[in-house]
Amino acid sequence: MSLDTLRDEALDIQDETVALRRSLHERPEIGNDLPITRDLVLEALDGLPLDLTLHETTSGISGMLTGGKPGPTVLLRGDMDALPLHEDTGLDFTSKSDGAMHACGHDTHTAMLAAAAKVLSARQDEIAGRVLFMFQPGEEGEHGARYMLEEGLLDVPPLADGTESPVTGAFALHIMTSLPTGMVATRGGACMASADRFVIKVHGEGGHASMPFRTIDPVPIACEIVQQLQLMVTRRIDVFDPAVVTVGRIQAGTTNNIIPHVAEIEGTIRTVSESTRAKVHDHLRRVASKIAEAHGATAEPEVILGYPVTSNDDRFADFTLDTARDVLGAEHVVRLPTPIMGAEDFSYVLQQVPGTMMFLGGTHPDRDPATAPVNHSNLVVFDEDAMPLGVELYAQMALRHLGATD
């Protein structure tokens, strides 16, 4: 089976890939319930030899391509949901849904995965094993991957002859404007951070703003907690196993001449190991409670667990990097020196299957990746010329994992 023509095959259907991407971009949906998105994906997959499963707890779609020869199963993931953001790019196919935008490139992921399904379906008879296409909603903080796993995504039945075909590898792409088109990057081990949310409610005693001595003012106490959380990170956490604690919201009071009875702090915790993750949770609770107690107030710290650390299997990451070098050239492949502190719910898949999350450059050559609007920006624009590269990488990873060689 020749793998040399996969780029040409991806380019042959580039118009279809772009058309699907733009349709998704115009009609973004948020969360786990994506009826329009699901219908567009199903339309794109129509006629392909896939065994489709429509997930019930979400709009997730899984499609199984069974090859002509026995072998294991490889999983390819593409996420489908958008962000709650007003788009200001001015693109001809800008979002038609006010307050929703594909600002993280999930529309490109979905379109690339659907295109990869077409490319691989054309080679069905030559495939030794199966390819499981995971079209996933709810990546933006809604745990869509976890719901699909709980519905049995990885419970792959034996082949028709009774041969077992377990999922032995998983691969996902994420487009980024911090890399130019044509570049890819990943690393073994921790690749992306865990992401947890915390809320701290500081309870004092309210009163008149002119008589603070007759109150327990929660506002300066909350401010002290915020400062001490930063000190906690620098003094209690190993710099070589880092953490980021960011307060994104402080809310208290109703007007200028009332000392409120409560102040609320909300933020995020990012770590790249489960041990440091647990330490930060413990330290945060203690800092908040003890500072409040020292001032005669009380604190209710709550940590809401989010995504775990996205940890690439070392051997699979090496395999991914080697594949990318063969496909794109060594000069276009970067082994990341450190993890990225963003988070991903592909982490749930990687807890159960060896695999890799890889980053795909998506900034047009006439723009500087250092200054181009980044993922999650209302101005971000992704270069569609990157998409055939992503389609080829999906297909190459699947075929090589299943034993195909030139």
Cβ 105 vs Cβ 175: under 8 Å: yes
Q: What is the CA radius of gyration of the chain?
A: 24
Q: Which candidate in 307, 344, 348, 392 is catalytic?
A: 307
147 included as an active-site residue: no
- Burial call 88-118: b when 16+ CB within 10 Å, e when fewer: ebeeebebebeebbbbbbbbbbbbbbbbbbb
Cβ 343 vs Cβ 277: under 8 Å: no
Relative to beta strand 128-136, strand 69-79 is parallel
Which of 198, 200, 213, 230 lies closest to 292 in space, CA to CA? 200
307 included as an active-site residue: yes
- Interhelix angle for 218-236 vs 274-294, to 10°? 140
Cβ 89 vs Cβ 7: under 8 Å: no
Residue with tokens 């890799």: 356
Sheet-wide strand order for 50-54: 50-54, 61-66, 128-136, 69-79, 167-180, 355-363, 184-186, 333-335
Q: What is the DSSP letter of 404?
A: -
Structure tokens at 126: 């030559």
Sheet-wide strand order for 194-203: 243-252, 262-271, 194-203, 298-307
Q: Give the containing element (helix H, strand E) for 52.
A: strand 50-54
Which of 355, 394, 329, 357 lies closest to 176 in space, CA to CA? 357
Q: Give the containing element (helix H, strand E) for 266.
A: strand 262-271
Structure tokens at 275: 């041990």
- The residues with which 340 forms a beta bridge, in sequence order, are 192
- The residues with which 64 forms a beta bridge, in sequence order, are 51, 132
Q: What is the DSSP letter of 83?
A: B
Q: Which candidate in 16, 151, 300, 384 is catalytic?
A: 384
Relative to beta strand 61-66, strand 128-136 is antiparallel
* d(C-alpha 351, C-alpha 353), whole Å: 6
Residues tagged active-site: 307, 384
